[in-house]
Amino acid sequence: MDVRPHAQWQTDVRPPEALVPEADLLIINAGELVTMAGGPRKGARMKEVGVIKNGALAAYQGNIFDVGSTEEVLARVQTGPTTRVVDARGRAVIPGFVDPHTHLCFAGDRADEFALRLQGATYTEIAARGGGIMSTVKATRQATEPALLDLGLRRLDAIALTGTTTVEVKSGYGLTVPDEIKMLRAIKGMAERHPLDIVPTFMGAHELAPEFKQDREAYIRLICEEMLPLVVAEKGLAAFNDVFTEKGVFTVEESRRILQRGKQLGLRPKVHADELSDLGGAALAAEVGAVSADHLLFASEENLAAMAKAGTVAVCLPGTAFCLMNVPYANARKMIDVGCFVAIASDFNPGSCPAYSIPFIITLACMHMKLDPSEALAAATINAALAIGVEERVGSLEIGKQADVVILDAPTHRHIPYKMGQGCVATVIKRGRLLVDQGRLLQRGGR
Ligand code: NIG
Ligand code: FE
C-alpha cells in the first residue's frame, strides 16, 4: 500500500508557484483540520487521522490544492474577488462522509414490520411470511422510474444534511430484467441530477425472485445470461455486482457463479456476507477478490483473516444490528487485529436499517463495536472510499482530491459520537461548492 506521510505528500505534488491558481474556496481557522492523509488505513494506523491544528484548506474548481496551518496556507495561496473565504472559527473540519452501502432506491415503507419485530418477530420469520425484502420488491415493481428517481433525490437531500458527500446505491428490489434496469436507471438519474457523488451497484441477487421459487437455477441463469450483460451494456449503470449470500437466499456456490460472471463482464464483486449465519460469505469474498464483504456479524476469525490477505474491505453496518435487535454487532476489533481494512456504512433500507445518518452510525460503531472515535471516522471516510473504489478521489483532505468537506458544529471530531450523531454538521461543501450552510440545504436535488 502506498502510505506517505502528510508533509512528504504535500512536497511531492504541490504545483510550482507559477502554476498555483487563485483559490475559489478558502477554509481557514479550523480548530482541527482532520486530513485523513496517507491513504486507507488498517491496524494501529486507523487511529492516525492526520490532525492539523488551526488548519486551512484551499481549493480551485472543486479540487484541493493546498492544505496546512492557516498561517502557512494564507502565506502561500493567492486570493481575489472570486474567492469564497469560509471561517471555521475554531471548529473541526473533516472530509465529507462516504457511505459505501445503501439500498436507498425503493418505494413504500415497512413500519408495520418494525412494529411486529418490536413484538418479537424476527427478520427471517417476517421474510418467510412474504414480508421483508419481498414487500419492498412489490412496492418497487409498482413504482415508475420517475417516481423512484424523485424519492431517491429527496432522500439524497436528507442525507446531504448529515454530512455524507459520496453514496453507494444498490438495485435489488426489482428482481426482473425490466425492474432491475428501471432501478439502475433511476439511480443513474440521481447521479446526473444530485450534487452528491453516487456509486451504483447491481444487486439482482438480493433475493430469489418469487416467480422462480420452484426453479432457482433459472433465476441464476437469468442474472448471469440476461441481467448482467444488459447492465454492463448500458454505460454507467453499475460499478459493482453484489450478492446476498445467506441461508435461504443464495448459497456460496450460486453466489460464486454470479460474482464470477459479473467479473468476466467487468463488474467488481461485493458480498452481503455472514449477516445472519456463518455460511462462508467472507471466505467467498476473499476467494473472488471482492472489493468488500459487508455485514460479517457471524464471520469466523479464519475467514476474516482470509479477507485481510485478499485486501477485501470489511464493511460493518452497526445500524442494522441496532435495528434488527437480538443479533450481535460485527466484531470490528477482531477485524482490525487480523489486519482488515475496516469501513462502516449505513445500509440505509426500508427494513433492516431505516437510518442514513453517518454521525449516528459512528456513534453506534463507538458504543457497540468499540471503535475509538478516530478509528470510526477513518472507517467512515477514507476506508469507506476504498470499499467502493473511490479512495483516489475522496475520503481525505489532500492536494489533488475533491474538495468534499464538512465543518462540524464542534471543536473536534471526537464530538461526533459524543453528540450521539445529533447536530454535529454545520456546513457541507461538495466539490468546492457550499451545499449545506448552518444546517440549511442550498442546492436541492429533490422537488
Ligand atoms: O443489507 N441483507 C440484505 N439486504 C439488506 C436488507 C434489505 C431489506 O431488508 O430490505 C441488508 O440488510
Ligand atoms: Fe445491505
pLDDT at 3 over 60: no
Tens of pLDDT along 66-109? 999 999 999 999 999 999 999 999 999 999 999 999 999 999 99
Give the span between the Cα atoms of 412 and 261, in whole angstroms. Answer: 46
Q: What is the mean pLDDT of residues 354-378?
A: 98
Q: How far is the CA of 102 from the centre of ligand 1 (A)?
A: 9
Backbone angles phi, psi at 432, to 5 degrees: 80, 0
What is the distance between the alpha carbons of residues 210 and 67, in angstroms, rounded to a whole number?
Answer: 53
Q: Is the CB of 104 under 6 A from ligand 1?
A: no
Q: Is the CB of 347 under 6 A from ligand 1?
A: yes
- Count Cα atoms within 13 angstroms, Cβ side, for 125: 9
Contact between residue 70 and residue 54 where contact means Cβ atoms under 8 Å apart: yes
What is the arithmetic mean of pLDDT over 202-230? 97
Distance from residue 272's CA to the centre of ligand 2 (Å): 6
Place of cell 442494522: 320
Strand partners, 38: none
Copy the grid coordinates of residue 332: 470490528
275-285 average pLDDT score: 96
Span 273-291, average pLDDT = 97
Q: What is the pLDDT of residue 184?
A: 98
Which of the four pLDDT bands, split at 50, 70 and 90, describes residue 7? very low
Look up residue 214 and give its DSSP letter: T
pLDDT at residue 269, rounded to an integer: 98
R_g of the chain computed on alpha carbons: 21
Of all protein residues, the one whose alpha carbon is nearest to atom 1 of ligand 1 is 347
In the prediction, which pLDDT does 443 show? Answer: 83
Mean pLDDT computed over 272-278: 95
How far, in Å, CA of 350 to CA of 166, rounded? 20
Contacts of 65 (CB under 8 A, 6+ apart): 14, 15, 20, 21, 23, 58, 59, 399, 400
The whole-number pLDDT of residue 81 equals 93
Report whether pLDDT(9) > 70: no
Beta bridge partners of 69: 55
Q: From the CA of 170, how far away is ligand 2's center (Å)?
A: 8
Determine what percent of the chain is predicted with pLDDT higher than 70: 95
The β-bridge partners of 242 are 270
Atom of ligand 1 nearest to the CA of 353: 12
Q: What is the pLDDT of residue 2?
A: 35
Q: Is the pLDDT of residue 173 over 90?
A: yes
pLDDT per residue over 326-340, tens digit each? 899 999 999 999 999
Q: Kindly tell me if the per-residue pLDDT of 447 is higher than 80.
A: no
Q: Does 281 sit in the ligand 1 pocket, CB within 6 Å?
A: no
- CA dist., res. 89 & res. 32, Å (int): 10
User: Which SS3 state, helix, strand or coil, does residue 428 take?
Assistant: strand
pLDDT of 18 above 80 = no
Cell triple for 56: 486551512
- Tell me if 209 sits within 8 A of 219, measured CB to CB: yes
Which ligand 1 atom sits nearest the alpha carbon of residue 207?
A: 3
What pLDDT does 8 receive? 35
Share of the chain above pLDDT 90, in %: 92
For residues 275-297, average pLDDT: 97
Q: What is the mean pLDDT of residues 235-256?
A: 97
> What is the pLDDT averaged over residues 265-287?
97
pLDDT of residue 5: 33
Distances, alpha carbon 417 to alpha carbons 18, 55, 220, 357, 362, in Å: 43, 22, 42, 12, 6
Residue 444 binned pLDDT confidence (cut-offs 50, 70, 90): confident
Residues 359 and 328: beta-carbon distance below 8 Å: no
pLDDT of residue 17: 57
pLDDT of amino acid 129: 87
- Average pLDDT, integer, range 371-382: 98
Which atom in ligand 1 lies closest to the alpha carbon of residue 351? 9
Q: Which long-range contacts (CB under 8 A, 24 or more apart) does 364-370 make?
A: 364/318, 364/319, 364/321, 364/322, 364/329, 365/316, 365/318, 365/332, 365/417, 366/417, 367/417, 368/318, 368/321, 368/322, 368/329, 369/316, 369/318, 369/329, 369/330, 369/331, 369/332, 369/333, 370/332, 370/333
**Residue 128, pLDDT score:** 87
- The type of residue at 82 is T
Strand partners, 85: 26
Is residue 319 within 8 A of residue 299, CB to CB? The reply is no
